Amino acid sequence: GTKQGSIMSFFKKA
């Protein structure tokens, strides 16, 4: 797991 988060968390922080 190199992934840092999910796409939804990326957009939710907008």
Partner 1 sequence: MLELRLVQATLFKNVVEALGDLFSTAHFNSSRTGLELQAKDNSRVTLIMLLLRAEAFDHYLCDRGLSMGLNLAGMAKAFCCTNNDDIITIKAEEDWSDTVTFTFESPEDGDEISYFHFDFMVINGVPLEIPEYPESEYQAIVRMPSAKFMPICNKLSSFGDRDTVVIISVDKESVDFLSRGKTGTLTIFCRETQTVDKPKEPTLIEMKEKVSLMFDLRYMNSSKASTLSDQVTISLSSKLPAVFEYKITEMSCIRYYMLPRNE
Rounded to the nearest whole angstrom, what is the least distance from the CB of residue 11 to partner 1 in the complex? 5
Structure tokens, 11: 């957009």
- C-alpha 2: how far from its chain's center? 12
> For the chain, first and last CA: distance in Å?
24
With CB under 8 A as the rule, give the number of residues binding partner 1. 12
Pull the structure tokens for residue 6. 């999910």
Residue 14 C-beta: closest distance to partner 1, Å: 4
Q: Which string of x and - marks every residue 1-14 that binds partner 1 (by CB under 8 A)?
A: -xxxxxxxxxx-xx
Binding site for partner 1 (CB under 8 A): 2-11, 13-14
